[in-house]
Amino acid sequence: MRVIGIDPGLRNLGWGVIDTEGSRISHVANGVCKTLNVSLSERLLSLHEQLSAIFSAYAPQTAAVEQTFVNKDGAGTLKLGQARGIAMLVPAQFGLTVGEYAPNTVKKTVVGVGHAAKDQVAHMVRVQLPGADLAGPDAADALAIAICHAHHGASPVLTMRQRA
């Protein structure tokens, strides 16, 4: 089964694709969708177009997105939520269900500790996906989300429409 993990961000949206076969996982690809310093609507459109191209290229069967945490910056949280909306929309457009995981759940699944640092997450992703060349911390987080989804019963159920 092919799983895509998405780490939402307005400037940098991380993505990572893995294949699973039983308990075995292998790295397929990872990267970061970047946006320019343009209007919010143009950034969201860019994220949608880039993520749609990734879905077309790698044909994942299921998807997972990290849940947004609320911080002191309400405006920043709202903008992150809009990027997360794109991260939820694109899989739905491809007929996929979307698993949602809290950051602590992802870290506990991949590292074994719910409050692990980003460098610990990246290290454990490299350990679990030997040979993976990580495109950056956002891509490492996205691969961790995909790994978490694979361990928590990812299912390739198609909901919106059957993929052609």
Average pLDDT, the chain: 89
Domain parsing of the chain, residue ranges: 2-151
Backbone angles phi, psi at 18, to 5 degrees: -130, 160
Q: Is 133 annotated as a binding residue?
A: no
Residue, of 74 and 61, whose pLDDT is higher:
61
Contact 51, 87 (CB under 8 A): yes
In CATH, what class is 2-151? Answer: alpha beta
Q: Where are the beta strands (DSSP E) in the chain?
A: 2-7, 12-21, 24-34, 62-66, 98-101
The CA-based dihedral angle spanning residues 129, 133, 136, 141, taken in that order and rounded to the nearest 10 degrees: -10
Give the whole-angstrom CA distance, residue 43 versus residue 76.
14
The residues assigned a catalytic role are 7, 66, 138
Q: Is 66 annotated as a binding residue?
A: yes
Q: Is 73 annotated as a binding residue?
A: no
User: C-alpha angle 42/46/47, rounded to 5°?
Assistant: 120
pTM recorded for the entire structure: 0.89
pLDDT digits (tens, 9 = 90+) for 101-143: 999 999 999 998 888 888 899 999 999 999 999 999 999 999 9
pLDDT-based confidence at 154, cuts 50/70/90? Answer: low
Res 68: pLDDT: 75
